[in-house]
Amino acid sequence: MSNFSWLPLHSKMCLLIFFLVGNGCSGTKPVLYPNEHLNQVGSEQANLDIKECQTLADNYVASNTTGTVAENTVIGAGVGGATGAVGGAIRGGAGIGAAVGAAMGATVGFIRGLFRASEPSPTHKTFVNRCLHDRGYEAIGWE
C-alpha cells in the first residue's frame, strides 16, 4: 500500500479533486424496460434514441448550472470559514483557521456544485422519459 506522506498537502488536495471530478462526471441516463419495442429495435437504436431525447431536453429545458455551482461554492466557503475559525480559536489562531477553512470549504462546495450541476433536473428527466415513451420505450428509472 502506498504512503503519500511525502507529498505536500496542496498536492494531496489536487489529487483528491482530480479523483473526485474524474469519477463523478459519468452522468445518468434512463434505464429502459425490455418491452416489445426495445426488443425489436435493439440496444444500439435505443441508445441513439436516448441521446436524441436528451439533446431535445437540453434544448427545451432551462438549466441553472452556473447558479448551482456558485451557490454551493458560497455555502462551502461560509461553512468552512466558520468551522476553521472555531478550530483555529481552539489552537490559538482563529484568523488563519478561518481563512484555511474558507478556502477548503469553497473548494469542496465548488466540486459539490459541479457534481450537482451534472445531474439532470427532475424536469429534464421527465422530458426525456416522455420523449422515449412517445417513441415506444418504457423508462423504469435513471442510473
Other C-beta atoms closer than 10 Å to the C-beta of 125 total 20
Write down the pLDDT at residue 120: 86
Model confidence at 108: pLDDT above 80: no
Q: For the segment 54-66, what is each residue's pLDDT rounded down to a tens digit? A: 999 999 987 655 4
Predicted model pTM = 0.50
In angstroms, rounded to a whole number, what is the distance separating the alpha carbons of residues 101 and 103?
A: 5
Residue 87's alpha-carbon distances to 8, 39, 94, in angstroms, are: 21, 59, 7
Residue 122's alpha-carbon distances to 34, 39, 68, in angstroms, are: 23, 27, 15
Q: What is the CA radius of gyration of the chain?
A: 22
Q: What residues contact residue 141 under an 8 Å CB cut-off, 6+ apart?
A: 30, 31
Domain range list for the chain: 34-142
